[in-house]
Amino acid sequence: MLDILLVNPGNRLSQFGGVSEYATVAQPLGIAMLAAYIRQHNFSVEILDAEVLDLSPSETVDEIILRRPKFTGITAFTTKMTAANKVLGLLKERAPHIRTIIGGHHCSAIPEATLAETKVDFVVKGEGYKPIIEILDGRKEAIQIAEPMKNIDELPLPAWDLLDMDRYRAHHWQSWGIGQKNSFALVYTSLGCPFQCKFCSVSVVYGKRIYRRKSPERVIQDFDVLYNKYNIKHIEIIDDTFTLNKKHVERICDLLIERKYDFNMWAFSRTDTADAYLMEKMKKAGINWVFMGVEAGNTKILDSVLKKQNLEQIHRAMKIAHDAEMNVGTNYIFGLADDDFDTMQDTIDLALELNTEWSNFFIAMPYPGTEMYDKADAKDLPEKWEQYGFFAPNARPLPTKHVGSEDVVRFRDKAFNTFFSSSRYQDMIEKKFGMKKYIQDMLKRKIGRDYERIAITDAGPSNHKTRRSEETLPGVK
């Protein structure tokens, strides 16, 4: 009998609506790492990635029952909780003898509330390795809290062999100029982030300011296996701030350069740690794209969310990356607490000025574990967890101090169209990748939002501070 089946619940349609085909399909790295650790402790383990197989909650439960595990462990961040709750609810009805565990970003932020809301036997707060072994060994407490491991070099390589590696695909822009999107994998070289930007909930798993690095010699083993055994071409380095420690990055890049691998990779950098020498080295190692959190085009807004960066640093970082011949991806956020129409206009203006090779236009969401969530008026919070997704057709952010949630979503969608329709952008993309027509086709695809419903709850339209019609929405053309 199987000891434990780890499950990544599927929710692509509710998360990406009509633009699902543009979204990446990435391995559930967290449970692949847990599986390897569980195996080391002599328990039998399998993974069911319902996301990549596109299984509904009911089909997921059929498959779980078929594999006859003693335990099922579900991974979920906030947007996946709708699907996770459905799977766990159906499983309790149909196979109550299977003991269930949930872990990941969402329940790490609000373990008690998750236990109360979800039909689950165990909730794990934090890193799952030790708690899951203790549960398999018979520990009984419903909420298990983990201390982060001190030496992450001790963690085994992810159990890639338990996944169908051919099914995963890179972000669409990552394959521009290359063609195929599959042969894609995630790699980490550090875990955690020492910063505390107010809109970000990344620290809920490991704890505030906790940042640990894996030694470059251990990191390169991951690359070796992915290259030699799985024939991987595209890699996302998932470190929240890859360029934080110069020596660490330099050594990893040297090891990659020595091996002459032809990976096509991307990584995240803060603008304040962008360094000319390092970027050149990263580019030589195969990191062709660097993503930076610009977030807002207005200093007052950047300061209000403790981003600890200024406009000069943003401009400097762009120049450094472009001088190193890297493609730059930028992230912008609309709907931060102090945003009004003018500051959101500053953000789109900056995006147009920077004109980077790709831009993500996000919406500030009150993820559990953020100050936004803690301080939110309960009536303003979304009713369903899936509504915390930026691309969800029914996405529902908080109203800002000045703008209603419906208008935040409208502004974001208009900003997206304005940026990608601009001839300056399209001409640059044509010159670099020959992808102008692709961008024009992409613009015809719609998420399928129902703006009118965004702010309506059972209690009526609750947060229309400044409701406006599409025509009168100021700002972006």
Instruction: Provide CB contacts within 8 A for 93, sequence distance 6+.
Output: none
394 binds ligand B12 (CB under 6 A): no
404 binds ligand B12 (CB under 6 A): no
Tell me which residues in 228-247 interact with ligand B12 (CB under 6 A): 238, 240
SS3 289: strand
Residue among 38, 45, 205, 409 that touches ligand B12 (CB under 6 A): 205
Residue among 20, 24, 304, 310 that touches ligand B12 (CB under 6 A): 24
Size of the site for ligand B12 (CB under 6 A): 42
160 binds ligand B12 (CB under 6 A): no
Rg from Cα positions in the chain:
22
Instruction: Select 148 or 475, whichever has its Cβ closest to ligand B12.
Output: 148
Sort 215 into a burial class: Cβ within 10 Å, 0-12 / 13-18 / 19+. Answer: middle
Instruction: Select 208 or 284, whichever has its Cβ closest to ligand B12.
Output: 208
Least separation in angstroms between residue 309's CB and ligand B12 is 16
In the list ligand B12, ligand SF4, none, the entry touching 47 (Cβ below 5 to 8 angstroms by class) is none
b vs e for 382-403, b when ≥16 Cβ sit within 10 Å of the residue's Cβ?
Answer: beebbbbbbbbbbbbbbbbebb
Rounded to 5 degrees, φ, ψ at 244 are: -60, -45
* Rounded alpha-carbon distances, angstroms, from residue 162 to 64, 71, 158, 159, 211: 15, 17, 9, 6, 28
Nearest to 401 by CA among 348, 370, 364, 360: 364
In the list ligand B12, ligand SF4, none, the entry touching 81 (Cβ below 5 to 8 angstroms by class) is none
Residue among 78, 269, 288, 463 that touches ligand B12 (CB under 6 A): 78
Residue among 128, 216, 286, 366 that touches ligand B12 (CB under 6 A): 128
Residue 291, strand partner residues: 268, 329
127 binds ligand B12 (CB under 6 A): yes
Tell me which residues in 326-385 interact with ligand B12 (CB under 6 A): 367-368
Nearest to 171 by CA among 364, 449, 358: 358
Residue 101, strand partner residues: 73, 122
Angle at 169 between CA 107 and CA 197, to 5 degrees: 40
Q: Which residues bind ligand SF4 (CB under 6 A)?
A: 193, 195-197, 200, 202, 240-241, 270, 293
Instruction: Select 203 or 426, whichever has its Cβ closest to ligand B12.
Output: 203
In the list ligand B12, ligand SF4, none, the entry touching 103 (Cβ below 5 to 8 angstroms by class) is ligand B12
Question: Which residues lie near ligand B12 (CB under 6 A)?
Answer: 11, 15, 24, 26-31, 33-34, 73-75, 77-80, 101-106, 124, 127-128, 131-132, 186, 188, 200-202, 205, 238, 240, 367-368, 389-391
